[in-house]
Amino acid sequence: MRDICLAQEPERRHPRGTLGPALRLDSGTLSPLLKRLEAAGLVRRERSARDERQVTVSLTGPGRELRRRAAAVPFRIMAATGLDEPELVALHRSLERPTAALDAASGLG
């Protein structure tokens, strides 16, 4: 749940189709996740008035609060690794190529 909240700009409506690639989730995974988040009151899904085939997703008040609280998680993880910032940057860079290859192999890239 945290990933969707962090991927979104809190005051903006996002086309549903842009969330999957941003989160590296296929439609079969994203749809049930969005349903659960909506049932929990964290996101709102709305059909576009201009094109009913298009669905936008936006954070609710509780979703924005969860996003605010979750913003500290990456810093806590960084502290728990014992790595300093240059080491984490190097680790991130070393994982970019295999991540891109996995995305391409799965059809997400």
Partners of 59 in the β-ladder: 43
Q: What is d(CA 4, CA 35) in angstroms, rounded to the nearest whole number?
A: 12
**How confident is the model at residue 10, as a pLDDT?**
57
In the chain the first and final C-alpha atoms are separated, in Å, by 22
**How confident is the model at residue 51, as a pLDDT?**
83
**How confident is the model at residue 93, as a pLDDT?**
93
Per-residue burial over 6-28, b if 16 or more Cβ lie within 10 Å, else e, is: eebeeeebbebeebbeebebeee
pLDDT tens series, the chain, 109 aa: 445 554 556 567 777 778 888 888 888 888 999 999 999 999 999 988 888 888 889 899 999 899 889 888 888 988 999 998 899 889 989 999 998 898 888 876 6
Q: What is d(CA 37, CA 42) in angstroms, rounded to the nearest whole number?
A: 5
Q: What is d(CA 11, CA 106) in angstroms, rounded to the nearest whole number?
A: 31
